[in-house]
């Protein structure tokens, strides 16, 4: 059974309840990690999974809350003879190489090898024999990527937005989709206080409206800002003003079935 594990569900500022956002897909015996902030190894172990089963890492973009834990991840596995594929934009690949080189984590004595795969901004590739991944750009950072996973055997599609403001192109792709995991950084009132927010992230009111219009079957908001004062009930109320489908508010270490 394919599962998604939420290793973290918060924004750039972690809280006691929510660490930086990252996801883990379990596909049969292999694990696919999406973004790599801190404590990933510990959280995978807390889920009673084996970090050595991570076969692929996908990077959405190079903001610190999505990538700063990569050197620690590789360092933790340095004695394990592993070959892990890392996928990202050209910018993300260059950034990850530099980050690992700062800590000499691409030297021969490091048995855990990272192999880099540069993704074009409109790409489709096979993550495993019956799991396809479609890649496209979102307007958060120069080369921010969203990933749409096609679980062919189960005939299920899952779209993860990464960090993004409202993107009409993304919601076109989300039309009728089984599961949408989407940036939902704050309730809408903060857009008036911080005018840059709607240019970088999505608020709960807009997300509910766009998801409803797109006919999303199951919506999972994520990346809740920890540095602003609001409750999850406010997020739910704003989404529910428009969205009538299944709504899951994930906590750290929540798991769901695809
Ligand atoms: Zn972020
Ligand atoms: Zn970001």
Question: Which pLDDT score is estimated for 32?
Answer: 98
Question: How far does residue 66's CA lie from ligand 1's centre (Å)?
Answer: 6
Q: Which ligand ends up closest to the CA of 224? A: 1
Q: What is the dihedral of CA 74, 76, 82, 83, to 10 degrees?
A: -10
Q: Which ligand ends up closest to the CA of 63? A: 2
Q: Which ligand ends up closest to the CA of 11? A: 1
Question: How far does residue 160's CA lie from ligand 2's centre (Å)?
Answer: 14
Mean pLDDT, the chain, integer: 97
Question: How far does residue 163's CA lie from ligand 2's centre (Å)?
Answer: 5
Q: What are phi and psi of 2, to 5 degrees?
A: -80, 135
Question: Which pLDDT score is estimated for 42?
Answer: 98
Q: Which ligand ends up closest to the CA of 37? A: 1
How do residues 24-83 score in pLDDT, each as one tens digit?
999 988 999 999 999 999 999 999 999 999 999 999 999 999 999 999 999 999 999 999
Show the domains of the chain with their CATH numbers: 3-251 (3.60.15.10)
Question: How far does residue 108's CA lie from ligand 1's centre (Å)?
Answer: 32
Average pLDDT score over residue span 101-107:
97
CA angle 95, 100, 104 (to 5 degrees): 145
How do residues 174-205 score in pLDDT, each as one tens digit?
999 999 999 999 999 999 999 999 999 999 99
Question: Which pLDDT score is estimated for 130?
Answer: 86
Question: Which pLDDT score is estimated for 135?
Answer: 97
8-state DSSP, 189: T
Question: How far does residue 61's CA lie from ligand 2's centre (Å)?
Answer: 7
Strand order in the sheet with 30-34: 112-118, 82-88, 54-58, 30-34, 22-27, 3-8, 255-257
Question: Which pLDDT score is estimated for 128?
Answer: 87
Left (φ > 0), alpha (ψ -120 to 50) or beta: where does 176 sit?
Answer: left
Question: How far does residue 147's CA lie from ligand 1's centre (Å)?
Answer: 15
* Residue 1 scores a pLDDT above 80: no
Tokens of 140: 């958060």
């Amino acid at each position: 059974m394919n599962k998604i594990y939420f290793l973290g569900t918060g924004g750039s500022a972690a809280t006691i309840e929510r660490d930086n956002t990252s996801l883990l897909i379990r596909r049969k015996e292999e694990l696919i990690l999406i973004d790599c902030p801190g404590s990933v190894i510990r959280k995978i172990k807390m889920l009673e999974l084996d970090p050595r089963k991570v076969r692929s890492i996908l990077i959405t973009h190079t903001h610190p809350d999505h990538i700063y834990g990569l050197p620690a991840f590789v360092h933790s596995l340095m004695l394990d003879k592993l070959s892990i594929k890392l996928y990202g934009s050209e910018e993300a690949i260059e950034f990850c190489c530099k980050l690992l080189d700062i800590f000499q984590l691409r030297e021969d004595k490091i048995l855990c090898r990272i192999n880099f795969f540069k993704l074009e901004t409109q790409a489709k590739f096979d993550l495993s024999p019956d799991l396809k991944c479609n890649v496209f750009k979102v307007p958060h950072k120069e080369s921010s990527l969203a990933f749409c996973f096609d679980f062919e055997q189960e005939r299920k599609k899952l779209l993860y937005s990464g960090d993004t403001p409202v993107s009409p192109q993304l919601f076109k792709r989300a039309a009728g989709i089984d599961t949408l995991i989407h940036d939902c950084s704050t309730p809408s009132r903060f857009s008036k206080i911080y005018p840059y927010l709607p240019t970088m992230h999505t608020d709960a009111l807009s997300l509910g409206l766009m998801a409803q219009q797109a006919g999303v079957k199951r919506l999972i908001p994520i990346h809740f800002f920890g540095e602003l004062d609001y409750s999850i009930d406010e997020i739910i109320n704003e989404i529910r003003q428009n969205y009538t489908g299944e709504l899951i508010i994930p906590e750290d270490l929540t798991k769901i079935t695809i």
